[in-house]
Amino acid sequence: MSEYDNTNRGQIWKNDDRKTETHPQFKGTVNVEGVEYWVSAWSRKPDANPKAPALSFSIKKKEDKVETTIDTDVVAQDSFDDTIPF
């Protein structure tokens, strides 16, 4: 059996972790031209204009978490300038 091609497809589910009105009502993923994105979506409020969009959404590119380390000795040395004229 071959793997199903999800290119240019996506899905959203109800956001059960929603804590405030600004949090998305739905969350999910979408694949656009082979690039994965996170999707957040909000449905139209019941009292909104019926001509308003039924669903608004935003997408954010999925990025691999990159661990970075900072050498605190170098940062401390670079943050002080001993040539202050006063």
14 in any annotated domain:
yes
pLDDT band per the 50, 70, 90 thresholds, residue 39: very high
- Predicted confidence at residue 4, as pLDDT, reads 84
pLDDT at 56 > cutoff 60:
yes
For residue 29, the cross-strand partners are 11, 38
CB of 28 within 8 A of CB of 16? no
- Decide: residue 20, CB within 10 A, 0-12 exposed, 13-18 middle, 19+ buried: exposed
pLDDT at 81 > cutoff 70:
no
Q: Which residues of 24-51 are buried (b: 16+ CB within 10 A; e: fewer)?
A: bebbbbbbeeeeeebbbbbeeeeeeeee
1 in any annotated domain:
no
CB of 12 within 8 A of CB of 25? no
CB of 6 within 8 A of CB of 20? no
What domain count does the chain have? 1
36 in any annotated domain:
yes
74 in any annotated domain:
yes
pLDDT at 68 > cutoff 90:
no
pLDDT at 78 > cutoff 60:
no
Q: Rounded mean pLDDT of 22-39? A: 95
Residue range(s) defining the domain that contains residue 73: 10-78
pTM: 0.64
pLDDT at 71 > cutoff 70:
no
